[in-house]
Structure 1
Amino acid sequence: MKTLFLSILIFTLLPLSFSELCNPSDKKVLLQIKQDFGNPYLLASWKSDTDCCTDWYQVECDSTTNRIISLTIFSGNLSGQIPAAVGDLPYLKTLEFHKLTDVTGPIQPAIAKLTQLTFLRLSWLNLTGSVPDFLSKLKNLTFLDLSFNSLSGSIPSSLSLLQNLDALHLDRNKLTGPIPESFGTFKGKVPWLYLAHNQLSGKIPASLGNLDFEHIELFRNKLEGDASFLFGKNKTTQYIDLSRNLLEFNLSNVVFPTSLTYLDINHNKIFGSLPAELTQLNLQFLNVSYNRLCGQIPVGGKLQSFDYSTYFHNKCLCGAPLESCK
């Protein structure tokens, strides 16, 4: 009986890690990340005596190798810089820090070591500094989101080397300088491009006209000159927002893709008339207000389904839903 009691006692006292799935090296890194963030409540489930593959929130392990492949920390109170230790999770495919109260500092250089990353989101934080050139080394990225930060400086042209990108979000920052010419040379996929709400200036590179952007947002910058080459009959573009810039070109001769459903060019210096071809589009949204357009609004299609605010504050546009032409 005494022997049986001892056996039960010994079995009970065996370390919980005896059957743990979590790779010890990965676990050590995660605990270091928790410590570097000051052991926040958001990471309370990260306990040294539990299995990081089965018991920890914000973490996902590969079902075969049990290595950490996803780290997604979002929507909570977290302060400090992104720890360098994130670069020591070599099998990581998804890294996300999103909507955290006080994550500051530059984009962590150690992220460059994560060559298997396909998804990188560092958004709605308080990151400062530049968009680093090293991001172009993460060749497997399909999604890159650095939006809603305070990043400054110019956009590195090397980002066009990311051939697998589905979407590039650099919007809602303090980026300056021109859009890189290289953004007209994306190889492979043409990403959805989000560069809005920055301080970008100069002309939109004509090279962007060589690509078929399905979705492009450039609004609230200081871009000037021509943008007509972004359109085209044979393109599959669905969404274009160029509003609140300094763009100046003749809209009369622009040929719009038949796929276009969203067009916003308000608050620019665009002149000419509205092409009749607009009546053939299945537009869900249209805003051409605050420009220098003239002539009668073509009748037909969706054009009269929008109210006067779509067209007002132009030089001499007329016709429904505005006042009739004299």
Structure 2
Amino acid sequence: MNYLFSITFLVYFLSLSFPSNSERCNPQDKKVLLKIKQDLNNPYHLASWNPDTDCCDWYVVDCDPKTNRINALTVFQANISGQIPAAVGDLPYLENLVFRHITNITGQIPSAIGKLSRLTLVRISYTNITGPVPSFFSKLKALTYLDLSFNQLSGSIPPSLSLLPNLQALHLDRNRLTGMIPESFGAFAGSSPPDLYLSHNQLTGSVPKSLGNMNFTRIDLSRNQLQGDISFLFGKTKALENADFSRNLFEFDITKLEFPESLIALDWNHNKLQGNVPVALTTLGNLQQFNVSYNRLCGQIPVGGNLQSFTYAEYFHNRCLCGAPLPAC
């Protein structure tokens, strides 16, 4: 018994005399994170960022279990003021970068982010950042998800974003973007085009016909000042599931359009569409949302499919449209 006690005491004594360094966090990453905290004026949201503790255990950051390098910085709904620190660009193993629902974040997106070649997800949204959409994002070839929505970004959309080979979703909606949709968006570098969200901006001109070469699954161009014919975005062989073109100036005859069986939602309200509601819509068993109100359509609404399941509100304010759910012709 005395022998076991002696061994236990010796181990305890040695542990005090020679403390083990069990901290996982890379020292350089820790230094950068503390600089980020300082640049953000030491907010309470980052109170766990204590230099005496392991930064892999800090709030809103993650460490890669293999390399112990910081690979995610996710700041969400924080009471933080200031600009996104340029020091973020000194976390070379960062894969996920999020600043979201932080209305007191201002300034421009720092160019230092362009150094982060491992980034797969960037979500800077619901802030008050200003300035242009940076073209440097096109150099981050690992990006699969780019969300810059609900900000105050202005200027034109960089055509080079189409060069991203792995992009699956592009959110530029709810900003103040101007100019035309880039012609290059008809030639995305990946095997399939990203889900494209450009709504609630000030985009003008015609949609480039090159976009007809892409097999979009989800596309939202609503609430802009776009005009002309977009019939080339439709067809039986397309993969389209959700499409919103509402509140623009589109003007073309939709009578003979055809649609993929995959179509779930189609919104055309508040445009200048002409002709009749397409008979081809009666064959779509998956159509759950449909709106052609406030256009210039005429004739009887075709009977069949889900077209009669929609309400009066989805069809009203057309030139001479009639038939259920509108009054009889």
Per the TM superposition, whether the score is higher than 0.5 is yes
RMSD of Structure 2 on Structure 1 (CA):
1.8
Percent identity of the aligned residues?
65
**1:79 matched to which residue of 2?**
81
Match of 1:144 in 2: 146
Name the aligned partner's letter for residue 224 of structure 1.
Answer: Q
Say which of 243, 253, 257 aligns to 1:254.
257
Structure 2 counterpart of 1:297: 301
In 2: Cα distance, 1:95 partner to 1:104 partner:
17
1:96-155 residue CA offsets vs partner (Å, 9 max, x unmatched): 111113011001100000001000110111110000111100011000000000000000
Match of 1:70 in 2: 72
Structure 1 residue 90 and structure 2 residue 92: aligned?
A: yes
Letter in 1 for 2:150: F
Letter of the 1:316 counterpart = C
Residue 309 of structure 1 corresponds to which residue in structure 2?
A: 313
Per-residue deviation, residues 216-247 of structure 1 (Å, max 9, x unmatched): 00000000001111111101100100000000
Structure 2, unmatched stretches of 5+, are 1-7
- Which among 48, 60, 63 is matched to residue 45 of structure 1? 48
TM alignment of 1:109-258, pairs within 5 A: 109-188=111-190, 189-258=192-261
Q: CA deviation at 1:255?
A: 1.2
Per-residue CA deviation, residues 44-89 of structure 1 (Å, 9 max, x unaligned), is 1111011011x21111111111011111111121110000100000
Taking a change above 3 Å as real, the CA distance of residues 14 and 81 of structure 1, as seen in their structure-2 partners, is farther
- Name the amino acid aligned to 2:116: L
Residue 18 of structure 1 and its aligned partner are, at CA, apart by: 2.2
Q: Deviations over 1:3-39 (max 9, x none)?
A: x99x978955877x82211000000000100010010
Cα distance in structure 2, aligned partners of 1:178 and 1:276: 32
| d(CA) in 1 for partners of 2:68, 2:45 | 23
- Among candidates 268, 271, 286, match of residue 268 of structure 1: 271
TM superposition score normalised by structure 1: 0.95
Q: Number of residues paired by the alignment?
A: 320
Provide structure 1 residue ranges, at least 5 long, that are not aligned to the other structure.
none
The correspondence for 1:29, drawn from 7, 12, 32, is 32
Task: Normalising by structure 2, report the TM-score.
Answer: 0.94
Code of the residue aligned with 1:19 in structure 2: it is: S
